[in-house]
Chain A
Amino acid sequence: MQTEIIIAGFGGQGVLFAGQVLAYAAMDNDLHVTWIPSYGPEMRGGTANCTVIIGDEPIGAPIVKHPKAVIALNLPSLDKYEPLVAENGILLVNSSLIERKVERPDVHVVYVSANEIAERLGDKRLTNMVMVGAWLGASGVLDMKAVQTSLKAHLPAKHHKLLPANYLALEEGAQIARETLAQAA
């Protein structure tokens, strides 16, 4: 088993941290995992993305051309990765910032108004966790409880007061993904 996810957005949307949360959860569950950021000059004030590869044997290539899932937090990310996500893969779209629809018919699409949900939960910085939750709900690769446990284990204690809101963000995202895919099926 190997699965790949690319998380893409602009700087400040918590793209790199979102990927690290998944990497921690994979590690804590004795899976192999590689997290790698885009670190080119474009990261300064522009788009940011990271690739997370999770598997049950040592990870080979650290980058993939056709990931099984993509989280697109803004329009440039959707434009870049819609053509690349694997056939029958999952495309998770932050519909708060992306007005257009996905054109490809051969991928599973979940629209999540992540910014609105995050603000309703009290902190717009939760946007990334809503989208991570959506991937958890759509892919089923990692267990929700396991991710929450890892988040608590690796978040510095001074931030632990933010945990309940993060848990809610993950769960709301997962709920939306499950409902969307159930309707589509």
Chain B
Amino acid sequence: MAKELLKGNVAMAEAAVRAGCEAYFGYPITPQTELLEHMAARMPELGRAFVQAESEVAAINMVYGAACTGKRVMTTSSSPGVSLMMEGISYIAGTEVPMVLIDVMRGGPGLGNIAPAQGDYTQMVHGGGHGDYKTIVLAPASVQEAIDLTALAFDLADKYRAIVVVLADGSLGQMMEPAELPEMQPLKKQLPDWAITGEPGRDRRLLTSIYLQPEDEETTNIRLQRRWMEIEANEVRYQEYFLDDAEIVLVGFGTAGRVALSAIRHARAEGIKVGLFRPVSLSPFPAEALRLVARKAKAMLVVEMNAGQMLNDVRLVTQGACPVDFYGRMGGVVPLPDEILSEIMRLARFTPHDLNGHTRAAWLDRLEVVRGAK
């Protein structure tokens, strides 16, 4: 199909429609509202279910019910709305039914603002709900990748009876870029053997997250853990840029990764050997690949639109193989390439051997200088 100029929110919605999403439940919130609007127009005209729920709490529980039928289901929201969904997400994980959630992140904490941010990393990657569950989290950095990952999200959800999150941010939702949509997929004909279909006469099927006997609940947890190990083995995704000879390696996902790439191109023009490692699957985290990169690097700089939520994972994975420094903007401020460029220059001039655990304090001091200069 030919390329079209598509807005991120609309592109993800249409990608979900074409992936065979049969039921959508949501509640409007900026900066993802165009996504819900597109579903409101498209789903009824295709004879599929669209419900604007009375709240995010209601929407996620409608998703829960619909997911039990084995059909492809989705909800979308933005940070504060996703926070409201956490109880339902834990229930869905405990019941082992597949769903897709798109989170178009905005500034926080609290009501915050509607500007682009990445403050939901911890909430999505490490679980905001209770209990031992993991979600697959995919982070696009362009409109095309947002389309591709939305389609992939439905396949992975079905394959692993998993919750798959597409973690975008406000700028990705609002921007337009040339992109190609996939062909319309036929709807699922064969439903899984656990699906609740109301079929009379066959053996009873039970979907639940209640296991009153702790041993039974532990059995379920073992199954969840085993399944997650399978996901970790098979579903790691990342992109590498200019890493062949890189001495300084930037690590950033989504929009922060894009901004870092701009800075890297400027730095390369100055002869600095710097590259980018961009995790695409934030969960499972590309641990092994990043560990290998860290062994060859003189230093790493994690760039995020939060206070270093992924930084913790990068440190855990690289285990001191090289110093790991940090630069981030918070509250809906998108870092500019110049800011990251001066961070690269700083590391190129002097690469500390040991950051002595003061990474965040030093970053906050530098950030206040950057803010004061404006």
Which of A24, A33, A60 contacts B259 (CB under 8 A)?
Answer: A60
Most buried by A among B30, B262, B338: B262
CB distance from B7 to the nearest CB of A (A): 9
B255 and A62 contacting across the interface, CB-CB below 8 Å: yes
| A62 neighbours in B (Cβ, 8 Å) | 171, 175, 255, 258, 334
A60 and B30 contacting across the interface, CB-CB below 8 Å: no
Most buried by A among B30, B113, B174: B174
- A34 on the interface (CB 8 Å rule)? yes
A41 to B115, CA, bound (A): 10
Contact mask for chain A residues 124-144; partner B; CB cutoff 8 A; 1 contact, 0 none: 000000000000000000000
- Chain B residues within CB distance 8 Å of chain A: 3, 5, 30-31, 113-115, 142, 170-171, 174-178, 255, 258-263, 265, 334, 336-338
| A36 neighbours in B (Cβ, 8 Å) | 171, 174-176
- A45 on the interface (CB 8 Å rule)? no
Contact mask for chain A residues 44-61; partner B; CB cutoff 8 A; 1 contact, 0 none: 000000000000001111
Contact of A23 with B336 at beta-carbon distance under 8 Å, contacts A41-B114, A62-B171, A62-B255 already known: no
A60 and B5 contacting across the interface, CB-CB below 8 Å: no
A24 and B255 contacting across the interface, CB-CB below 8 Å: no
| A23 neighbours in B (Cβ, 8 Å) | 5, 176
The size bracket of the interface on A is: 20 to 34
- A98 on the interface (CB 8 Å rule)? no
- A65 on the interface (CB 8 Å rule)? yes
- A181 on the interface (CB 8 Å rule)? no
| A33 neighbours in B (Cβ, 8 Å) | 5, 177-178
B170 and A39 contacting across the interface, CB-CB below 8 Å: yes
Which of B30, B31, B175, B337 contacts A35 (CB under 8 A)?
Answer: B175
B174 and A60 contacting across the interface, CB-CB below 8 Å: no
What 16 new A-B contacts, CB under 8 Å, besides A39-B170, A40-B113? A20-B5, A20-B176, A27-B178, A36-B171, A36-B176, A39-B114, A40-B114, A40-B115, A59-B258, A60-B262, A61-B261, A61-B336, A61-B337, A62-B175, A63-B336, A65-B336
A154 to B5, CA, bound (A): 10
Listed from nearest, the 3 A-B pairs whose CB atoms lie closest are A60-B262, A27-B178, A60-B261
B114 and A61 contacting across the interface, CB-CB below 8 Å: no
Smallest Cβ-Cβ distance to B7: which chain A residue? A35
Most buried by B among A23, A24, A34: A34
CB distance from A25 to the nearest CB of B (A): 10
Smallest Cβ-Cβ distance to A27: which chain B residue? B178
CB distance from A153 to the nearest CB of B (A): 11
Which of B30, B115, B170, B176 contacts A34 (CB under 8 A)?
Answer: B176
B174 and A37 contacting across the interface, CB-CB below 8 Å: yes
Contact of A58 with B5 at beta-carbon distance under 8 Å, contacts A34-B176, A36-B171 already known: no
CB distance from A65 to the nearest CB of B (A): 5
Which of B142, B177, B262 contacts A61 (CB under 8 A)?
Answer: B262
CB distance from B116 to the nearest CB of A (A): 9
Contact of A39 with B265 at beta-carbon distance under 8 Å, contacts A24-B5, A62-B258, A63-B334 already known: no
B174 and A39 contacting across the interface, CB-CB below 8 Å: yes
CB distance from B108 to the nearest CB of A (A): 16
Most buried by A among B3, B5, B265: B5
B262 and A34 contacting across the interface, CB-CB below 8 Å: no
| B177 neighbours in A (Cβ, 8 Å) | 33-35, 59
| B113 neighbours in A (Cβ, 8 Å) | 40
CB distance from B173 to the nearest CB of A (A): 9
CB distance from A109 to the nearest CB of B (A): 25
Contact mask for chain A residues 145-163; partner B; CB cutoff 8 A; 1 contact, 0 none: 0000000001000000000
